[in-house]
Amino acid sequence: MEIKKVITLLVTTMILAAFTPYALAATTDDLIITFDPDGDIDIDVNISFYNFSSVLANEWSNTTGGTFTLYNNGTVAMDTRIKTNATTDEGDMSLNESAVAPGTDEYAIWIQGLDLNQFLNSSYIQYFDTSLIPQDSKTFDVHLRIGTNLSANHSWQTTTISFEGSQS
């Protein structure tokens, strides 16, 4: 008799175990939504080319009076980061990212007039301007200083300053 009870109990447990996942199983469903983001960043800088002409070693050459203009032609507020080349296009001079007095064959560029006045780096590290509202603009100036010494009489040097806008 006890064997019948044990067998009945085992059979009942097996039957319950077999049907329990179906009885207690969870179900899922999905809701798919579609949307079109309606906002864009459209950064523009005017003047797009500037010639400092003859630049003396160990002296600042500056634009003044807001020579350049940063525009937000987009539809959302914009934060702006700025960078320049690590070397001149000709490869003769290297960027010194933090020196007030760059060394031999080095140059430094300082941006003034935006939210933060600071030296340029060779990568997008920091924000120079924040929350420029759509259809607004700000003027700024560029200050260039070449090192205290030059290793040669270098020909014309060129570097590119790049601007990156992102949503505030």
Please give the pLDDT value at position 33. 79
Q: Is 55 inside any structural domain?
A: yes
CB 39 within 8 A of CB 133: no
Q: Tell me how many domains the chain contains.
A: 1
Q: Is 21 inside any structural domain?
A: no
Q: Is 38 inside any structural domain?
A: no
Please give the pLDDT value at position 35. 72
Q: Which residues pair with 133 in a beta bridge?
A: none
In whole angstroms, what is the distance from residue 113 CA to residue 164 CA? 17
Point out the residues of the chain with pLDDT beneath 70: 1, 5-7, 9-25, 36-37
Neighbour order of strands in the sheet with 127-132: 127-132, 78-84, 161-167
Q: Is 3 inside any structural domain?
A: no
In whole angstroms, what is the distance from residue 168 CA to residue 39 CA? 12
Q: Is 1 inside any structural domain?
A: no
Please give the pLDDT value at position 15. 67
Q: Is 13 inside any structural domain?
A: no
Domain boundaries, position 90: 43-167
Q: What angle do CA 117, 118, 120 make, to 5 degrees?
A: 135
Q: Is 109 inside any structural domain?
A: yes
**CATH at 86:** 2.60.40
Predicted TM-score (pTM) of this structure = 0.77
Q: Is 52 inside any structural domain?
A: yes
Please give the pLDDT value at position 16. 60
